[in-house]
Structure formats: C-alpha cells, structure tokens
C-alpha cells in the first residue's frame, strides 16, 4: 500500500473582512492506494466526519452490453455531414456515489465525489499506473472528508464560492501526486 499526502491552507474568501472569524483553515489530503480501491482523506482543520464510496459502474454489468450510460453525438469534424458523428461518452454519468457515513441528502457532495473520481480516472491513475485512461476502466474510491468544507459559514452567503473551493481541492489532490 502506497501513501501520498499534501497539506495546505484554504484561501480566505475575497470578501472576508479583516477580522475574519474564519481563521485560516488547514486542508490536509492523504491517499492510500490499494489494489481494489483508493482510500482518500480530506481533512479540514484535522476533522473529517463523512465517508462516501464512489465506484465507476456504467450499465455494463447489469445488461452486460457495452452501452455507456450517457453520452452525446459529438460532432467531430468541422463540416456538418452526419455520418462522421462519433459517440462521445459522458464519463461523469458512469459514477455511483454511495453515502457510507454522513448526510446523504446533501446535494453538493455527490458532485464533489464525481469530480474527484473523474480527476482520478483522467489524470492521476494514468500518471500513477502509467497506462492510458481507457474507456471502461473500473475503479473505486473511498473518500472520507469533512462536510464543513462545503458548509457556508454564518457571514458568507449560501453558496459563496463552492466552485472555487472544489477547484482548489481538486488542485490539492493533483499536487499531492506531483511530488
């Protein structure tokens, strides 16, 4: 089992006042690789309270035909003749997020987990294992993280910059493997 880790601080929101009650929060990311799954920990100020399992399951096992769950007829060539349209597979819909611990009604978390899984499928796994990202790569992630990362604090508006936080967390995960 191979372990990676990365530690940084959440950037303060742009509008946070000087006496920001949100003192700088430490974000700690650690991953342990097994051959059947990857255990990922994302801690905010050392805390983590919810766990999700993300596995890439398209329709394949059920109907055992290799039809991806979703995709769109992406138009490849510049000219618009029809035959050349080739099926562009939408990988984001192949993931299944199971809440092992925590609030399963939280709408933000499945999005976060799917984005992390897609980051792994497209960037990290090819880099770590050295093989290209094939289409039907099956893998699973076990993510333990703090739900406070996505919870708006009192003074911030509801979805202050969740997207910014998500991009920041993804960047941290990527940097963890960069060293």
Partner 1 sequence: MLVKTISRTIESESGFLQPTLDVIATLPADDRSKKIPISLVVGFKQEASLNSSSSLSCYYYAIPLMRDRHINLKSGGSNVVGIPLLDTKDDRIRDMARHMATIISERFNRPCYVTWSSLPSEDPSMLVANHLYILKKCLDLLKTELGE
Write down the least CB distance from residue 54 to partner 1, Å. 12
36 binds partner 1 (CB under 8 A): yes
Rounded to a whole number of angstroms, the minimum distance from the CB of residue 45 to partner 1 is 6
Number of Cα atoms under 13 Å in the Cβ half of residue 45: 7
Question: What is the maximal distance between C-alpha atoms in the chain?
Answer: 61
The reply on whether position 33 binds partner 1 by CB under 8 A is yes
- Nearest residue to 37 (alpha-carbon basis) of 146, 112, 123, 125: 125
- Distance between CA 121 and CA 119 in Å, rounded? 6
Of 12, 15, 17, 34, the residue at the interface with partner 1 (CB under 8 A) is 34
Helices (H) and strands (E) in the chain, counts: 4, 8
Strands 71-74 and 86-89: antiparallel
Return the range that interacts with partner 1 (CB under 8 A); candidates 32-40, 62-70, 111-119, 161-169. 32-40
Which of 66, 84, 88, 100 binds partner 1 (CB under 8 A)? It is 100
Give the integer Cα–Cα distance in Å for 75 and 142: 35
From the list 7, 25, 45, the residue with the least C-alpha distance to 179 is 7
Closest distance between partner 1 and the C-beta of residue 143, in Å?
11
Q: Residues binding partner 1: what is the number (CB under 8 A)?
A: 28
Instruction: State the nearest-atom distance from the C-beta of 41 to partner 1, in Å.
Output: 6
How many of the other CB atoms lie within 10 Å of CB of 132? Answer: 8
- Per the CB < 8 A criterion, the answer to whether 119 and 173 are in contact is yes
Report in angstroms how near the CB of residue 104 gets to partner 1 at its nearest.
14
Q: Which residues between 43 and 82 bind partner 1 (CB under 8 A)?
A: 43, 45-49, 51, 53
- Which of 16, 22, 41, 60 touches partner 1 (CB under 8 A)? 41
Site membership for partner 1, residue 173 (CB under 8 A): no
In 23-107, which ranges are continuous DSSP H helix? 60-63
Tell me which residues touch partner 1 (CB under 8 A): 1-3, 5, 7, 26, 28, 30, 32-37, 39, 41, 43, 45-49, 51, 53, 100-101, 142, 144
């Amino acid at each position: 089992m191979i372990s990676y880790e990365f530690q940084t601080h959440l950037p303060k929101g742009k509008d946070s006042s000087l006496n920001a009650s949100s003192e700088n929060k430490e974000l700690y990311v650690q991953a342990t690789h097994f051959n059947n799954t990857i255990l990922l920990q994302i801690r905010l100020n050392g805390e983590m309270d919810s766990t999700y399992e993300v596995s890439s399951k398209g329709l394949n096992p059920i109907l055992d035909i290799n039809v991806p769950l979703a995709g769109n007829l992406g138009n490849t060539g510049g000219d618009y003749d029809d035959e050349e349209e080739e099926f562009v597979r939408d990988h984001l819909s192949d993931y299944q997020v199971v809440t092992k611990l925590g609030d399963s009604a939280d709408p933000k978390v499945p999005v976060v987990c799917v984005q992390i899984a897609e980051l792994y499928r497209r960037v990290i796994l090819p880099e770590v294992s050295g093989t290209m990202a094939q289409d039907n790569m099956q893998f699973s992630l076990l993510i333990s993280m703090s739900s406070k990362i996505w919870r708006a604090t009192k003074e911030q508006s509801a979805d202050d910059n969740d997207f910014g936080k998500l991009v920041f967390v993804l960047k941290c995960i990527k940097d963890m493997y960069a060293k």
